[in-house]
Structure 1
Amino acid sequence: MYKLIILLILTLCLARVPHANAQGDWFKRFVKKTVSDTTAPGESSFRIYPTLGYSPETSFEFGLSSLLIFQAKKDTLNRLSEVQAFTFLTLEAQYGIWLDNAIYGDKDKWFFLGRTRFQRFPLLYYGIGPQTPDKDPALIDANYLLLRQRVLRKIVPNLFVGPEIDYQQLYNTGFEQPDDHFYDKPLGSDGARNIGFGAALVYDNRHNVLNVRKGFFGEVSFLKYSPALGSNQNFRSINVDIRGSHPTSIRNVFAWQVYSSFSAGNVPFNQLALMGGEMIMRGYYYGRYRDKGMIATQIEHRWLPFGFSKRFGAVAFAGTAVVGPKLSELNLKYIRPSGGVGLRYLLFPRKDIFLRLDVGFTKDGPGFYLFTGEAF
């Protein structure tokens, strides 16, 4: 809970900074620019703000987030595009850069959807399968690089299709066994480089990706990884992601998501279906459970904002997921639940975009997340 308090205090400090003296005017201007939103409709907005966190694995974590939002040709009839960046550094000398993009062209002719990750960060490894040890994970320390991008073309209103590329690499790896448990080293733990090519079919009628008050998103994608394409391993994967958001009142939204990922072939451990993280099954460490297949669902109710506040809101969410080697071998007795609550701060009033602070609860304990925009 202490981490949640630290993050909340930092957010409130950004929103309510005291009057600065002459020598601190640059900081005052920076904060005022960060928490205000004076751009006209259609104009782009860019914000930078710091983040702070703590966990036993990282000690204190210091970060810097930035967000660029815009509409093609400054036309308010075009969808809101976003590019997010997040950098972090911990007292354990871990660091990383994350970049996410959802960019719509004029009249939706093109849609660029992707993410980039680079990090030097320990990966906790509990094994593969729906039943893994509750404690004493192995530690895989490595440099990790991910580049995944879809280049989609509109074929009819709200329906897009196009190629997809995925590049993932682990290098400078080290596998550290725990004192009380021995793990077989998984495929890829000594380093891996895999390049996948495929295609994606996307239906998307959302107008604001970062805060969907009404809309539907559906994606089916297929990727093939092969030595002929430059990969270390030969495998393939198919992913399905379906999301819906439904307003229940002028401020309240009910949202849901169903996600599945299945792979076949020689799949490295870092490209298996991974349960947990900041988007779905919040509260579980990302990759706490992993296997070649996973089905996950979540629901969320959002108060954006509260009826008595112009800036603050909240959410409550719950999810379930199960992993297994293939669809026919998913076992209902291994379904894992998660749930939690979150605070929201209206960072861009004119664009209806919130800063989210979530805490997810599982049998392993709580997980904390501070990001711009909703989880899904």
Structure 2
Amino acid sequence: MAIQVSQAYAQDGWFRRFVQKTISDTTGEGKSSFRVYPTLGYAPETSVEVGLSSLLLFQAKGDTLNRLSEVAAFTFVTLEGQYGIWLDNAIYGDKDKWFFLGRTRFQRFPLLYYGIGHTTPEAEPALIDANYLLFRQRVLRRIRPNFFIGPEVDYQQLYNAKFKQPEGHFYDEPKGSQGTLNIGLGAAVVYDNRHNVLNVRKGLFGELSFLKYNRSLASDYNFQGFNLDVRSSHPLTRRNVLAWQIYGNFFTGNVPFNQMALMGGEMIMRGYYYGRYRDKNMLATQVEHRWLPFGFSKRFGGAVFAGAAVVGPKIGSLTPARARLSGGVGLRYLLFPKKDIFLRLDVGFTKDGPGFYLFTGEAF
């Protein structure tokens, strides 16, 4: 979502008790924690949006030596009749024997289409109104300390799709704009020594994965791709963290428009609409400085961040001269003190204007 703003205004009576229970971290060490809280948002493509978010935090067998696992869910509905359910999981087994990393999406939501490539028209985008279903899961087995490997599956379906041209401009309809279903099978190799995936104060995460989509697997298109994600966090002081990320998607074959490398969103290149620029290949990087929390506060912190990304039809076309830039600032609120989890409100600035994001946990 472009904007999500949590409603947590304490009032007398039951509502105040509900809010206090929602934001208070009263669980003991090693105990699971579950929170549900309402959200209110606005975006140009959705009008007013209301939703409900939930977050489950736990450690396998209640052992504080095990890593903190998280399952986050978000459901929303808008005044335009759009709706959706999101689910993200990062679940570690006892002593890291298994690692389940994935996301699920179902939504009826408009997709703005600006074209393909690093230069797209300044005209109004086309609108692809469709149902969208995504299921992507890695089932990883630890083979050495902090080192995991395992199979990966990716199911993506766009259906009941309608491509709507804007007034005064005509777009060539891309592959998949009338609906598409693709199933990818592959494998992922992951190095991960983080202890808290939602707020990494020190640690390294690196993933290299390969997925192949083939008509023999009931896919509409034949294509394949590599995905690269490297994240590193470095404590400067007890409260200060410097983090950086390198992220890349590299596809070949007949790639449908919705599964191309997409620039923008709440994770990287904040401020750009997710998919504002798209192509078969993308390379992006970002750096962020976090105060968790500020020295003068027990609950409030902040962040500054900057990023650059480039898309292109071939790896050789990913040159610095074609890169787009973004940057921004953020406010943090310590939502779960005993588990060191912050609520983040980020404002990203780009040449297209600002974008606002409110989520539980850091962007990367």
TM-score category by the smaller chain? over 0.9
Cα distance between partner residues in 2 of 1:60 and 1:301: 32
Mark the runs of 5 or more structure 1 residues left unpaired by the alignment: none
Match of 1:241 in 2: 229
Match of 1:316 in 2: 304
Matched, 1:254 2:257: no
Match of 1:68 in 2: 56
Contact 2:51 2:75 in 1 (8 A): yes
Question: 1:31 offset after TM fit, Å?
Answer: 1.2
Q: What letter corresponds to residue 125 of structure 1 in structure 2?
A: Y
Which of 254, 265, 268 aligns to 1:277? It is 265
Matched, 1:118 2:106: yes
Question: 1:158 offset after TM fit, Å?
Answer: 0.1
Which of 3, 17, 22 aligns to 1:34? It is 22
Report the secondary structure of 2:339's partner residue. coil
Q: What letter corresponds to residue 266 of structure 1 in structure 2?
A: N
Match of 1:170 in 2: 158
Q: Deviations over 1:150-169 (max 9, x none)?
A: 00000000000000000000
Q: Deviations over 1:96-124 (max 9, x none)?
A: 11100000000000000000011100000
Q: Deviations over 1:58-103 (max 9, x none)?
A: 1111111100000000000000000000111111111111100000
Matched, 1:294 2:287: no
Cα distance between partner residues in 1 of 2:122 and 2:348: 18
Question: 1:134 offset after TM fit, Å?
Answer: 2.1
Cα distance between partner residues in 1 of 2:338 and 2:258: 39
TM score, norm. by length of structure 1:
0.95
Which of 112, 130, 133 aligns to 1:145? It is 133
Match of 1:328 in 2: 316
Report the secondary structure of 2:272's partner residue. coil
Which of 333, 337, 343 aligns to 2:325? It is 337
Report the secondary structure of 1:134's partner residue. coil
Match of 1:214 in 2: 202
Cα distance between partner residues in 1 of 2:11 and 2:49: 25
Matched, 1:364 2:352: yes
Match of 1:19 in 2: 12
Cα distance between partner residues in 2 of 1:63 and 1:340: 25
Percent identity for Structure 1 against Structure 2: 75
Match of 2:122 in 1: 134
Match of 2:65 in 1: 77
Q: What letter corresponds to residue 39 of structure 2 in structure 1?
A: T
Report the secondary structure of 2:181's partner residue. strand
Contact 1:164 1:200 in 2 (8 A): yes
1:152-167 correspondence runs (5 A): 152-167=140-155
Match of 2:215 in 1: 227
Cα distance between partner residues in 2 of 1:58 and 1:220: 35
Mark the runs of 5 or more structure 2 residues left unpaired by the alignment: none
Q: What letter corresponds to residue 229 of structure 2 in structure 1?
A: D
Matched, 1:58 2:51: no
Q: Deviations over 1:333-367 (max 9, x none)?
A: 22000001111111100000011111101000111
Question: 1:56 offset after TM fit, Å?
Answer: 1.7
Contact 1:256 1:297 in 2 (8 A): yes
Contact 1:51 1:370 in 2 (8 A): no
Match of 2:173 in 1: 185
Report the secondary structure of 2:329's partner residue. strand
Match of 1:108 in 2: 96
Q: What letter corresponds to residue 133 of structure 1 in structure 2?
A: P
Q: What letter corresponds to residue 246 of structure 1 in structure 2?
A: H
TM score, norm. by length of structure 2:
0.98
Report the secondary structure of 1:350's partner residue. helix
Match of 2:256 in 1: 268
Q: Deviations over 1:106-146 (max 9, x none)?
A: 00000000000111000000000111012310000000000
Contact 2:123 2:169 in 1 (8 A): no
